[in-house]
Amino acid sequence: MLKPEDVHYLEVQRLHLQTKLDASKTQEERNRLGQFATPPALAIEILERASMLLEGDRKQIHFLDPAFGTGAFYSALLKVFPTASIQAHGYDIDTHYGNPAQRLWRDTPLILTLGDFTQATPPQTEAERVNLLICNPPYVRHHHLPPVEKIQLQTRVQHMINIHLSGLTGLYGYFLLLGHAWLREGGLAGWLIPAEFMDVNYGVQLKHYLTTQVRLIEIQRFDTSISQFEDALVSSALVWFRKEHPSPHQEVSLRSGGTVSKPEIIKNVALSQLKPTIKWAALFTASHRSNPASSQRAPKIKLIDLFTIKRGIATGANRFFILTPEKISRYEIPHKFLQPILPSPRYIPSDEIEADQIGNPKLARRLFLLVCDQPEDRIRDRWPMLWAYLETGIQQGIHKRYLCRHRSPWYAQEHRPSAPFLFPYMGRRNANGDLPFRFILNHSKATAPNVYLMLYPKPTLAKAIQQHSALLESIWRGLNSISDEILLKQGRVYGGGLHKLEPCELANTSAERLAAYLPESVVNAPQQLPLFT
């Protein structure tokens, strides 16, 4: 039997090992296999929580960590539970971590298999299955999974648990579902996974599993401004469930902020509220227990009914294609090849952009996009200075960049006219805790780079604006009256507190608040007029 001081000594050794092994791999190599260790304090908190949730089932612990690494959870397990009660099993695909980990833990009750957990044959009898599975699986994104491997994983999951995972699912989703066959009836599982599964389309199947195949106990979402892993930009959630039938009347504890032992907010919601097809993020923060009927009601009017929403222009190389007045005069770039373009939102102090007489934005930072699709020969002959500038781009290899080499000529830009309303689509809360989202009213002719979403009024609304230009301002006020809660519900949050709203998410946002600022003829038009497509 291991003594507490042995366990402590082993943990000190493990931490040395972890540092050494991480340092001898590049960040890229670690990304490929999702090798980001759980901080020791978090591992201990998780095992302490497991000990509370295990209730009477703690006398004999049969433990599994399918993505073992050096054993952060196993070490915490030895600390929290009496070692005499432990029988443990781990998997890791990478001998770089696996071999030293086997040596470190050789005198302890662990069998560490060096191999691919997703290919491993699960136990065939209940006695062999585990009653505690804790895992921080590899967060390998779907586009890093080779297509053949992805199909194999999908087939395996389908075969084992009859769920077809979307091809957009990261490796962690397969781990979670394949773990099912390793759990004993009534066994407890704690999965530390990216929180995004609750809010993205590919998460629907995972949410379906969590709400219909097992008894979901609680989900803790960690404060997004503190990424759990210093070196990985993901916000994580700790999902706890028991392998038993869910009860239709059960509640699930949604916890957020703070730590595992002291969450800042705890909301108990009915299982029936956790519909797989809705985003769960808002349920953690809703200030009251929302009435499922009203909170899930589809809005009568959405932004997509009123606007065409496009991402701003992706130039392929902003430093080259976006020019300052100094560069323009140095290379004598003709005005007809320039279109004003907005700087990044941080250079736009006010939410309203005024324009000068020719439509240039009145901003301290003045920028212009090079828009020229004339053939090279013609430019060389007629505008030699512009040609000299383009040659500097060739020397820098700009013409070989992905977007440029797919254009003809390589320096041509998409046509992206100015839009009256702009929405910076990502950002962090400011020092006062305010969200970064705001709608900007643009009176200028400037186009916008792809850090903005551009809202172009659809024909009926455009016509109404043409008839009453004061409507522009009302719409702008109406857009800014859309609450943070509504925007948050649509968007997503990444580690480090980065909020994002993609074009389709903004398009799906309710425009019911905005509708109050619009003439009735416009609000009722989407259903009546074919102009709204």
Q: List residues binding ligand SAM (CB under 6 A).
A: 33-38, 65, 67-69, 72-73, 91-94, 97, 116-118, 136, 138
Q: Which is nearer to ligand SAM, 119 or 296 (CB)?
A: 119
Q: How far is the CB of 57 from ligand SAM (least distance, A)?
A: 22
Rounded CA-CA distance 45/381 in Å is: 71
Whether the Cβ atoms of residue 217 and residue 52 lie closer than 8 Å to each other: no
Cα Rg for the chain, rounded, in angstroms? 28
3-state secondary structure of 326: helix
Residue 318 phi/psi, 5° resolution? -55, -40
Q: Which is nearer to ligand SAM, 117 or 437 (CB)?
A: 117
- Residue 463: is it exposed, middle or buried by C-beta count within 10 angstroms (0-12/13-18/19+)? middle
Lookup result for tokens 């250079």: 347
Rounded CA-CA distance 461/140 in Å is: 44
Q: Which is nearer to ligand SAM, 73 or 410 (CB)?
A: 73
Tokens of 306: 């009123």
Q: Which is nearer to ligand SAM, 69 or 424 (CB)?
A: 69
DSSP for residue 108: S
Q: Which is nearer to ligand SAM, 130 or 309 (CB)?
A: 130
Closest C-alpha among 66, 64, 67 to residue 77: 64
Whether the Cβ atoms of residue 33 and residue 108 lie closer than 8 Å to each other: no
Q: Which is nearer to ligand SAM, 2 or 171 (CB)?
A: 171
Closest C-alpha among 174, 170, 159 to residue 196: 170
Tokens of 54: 């295990």
Q: Which is nearer to ligand SAM, 93 or 271 (CB)?
A: 93
Q: Which is nearer to ligand SAM, 100 or 409 (CB)?
A: 100
- Residue 382: is it exposed, middle or buried by C-beta count within 10 angstroms (0-12/13-18/19+)? exposed
Q: How far is the CB of 341 from ligand SAM (least distance, A)?
A: 41
Q: How far is the CB of 102 from ligand SAM (least distance, A)?
A: 13
Name, in order, each residue with C-beta under 8 angstroms of 65's C-beta and a sequence gap of 6 or more.
71, 73, 74, 88, 89, 90, 91, 133, 134, 135
Q: Which residue in the shown chain puts its C-beta closest to ligand SAM?
A: 69
* 449, β-bridge pairs: 313
Closest C-alpha among 445, 443, 424, 446 to residue 435: 424
125 residue type, one letter: T
Tokens of 443: 């009176």
Q: Which is nearer to ligand SAM, 66 or 526 (CB)?
A: 66
- Residue 526: is it exposed, middle or buried by C-beta count within 10 angstroms (0-12/13-18/19+)? buried
Q: Which is nearer to ligand SAM, 116 or 434 (CB)?
A: 116
Q: How far is the CB of 94 from ligand SAM (least distance, A)?
A: 4
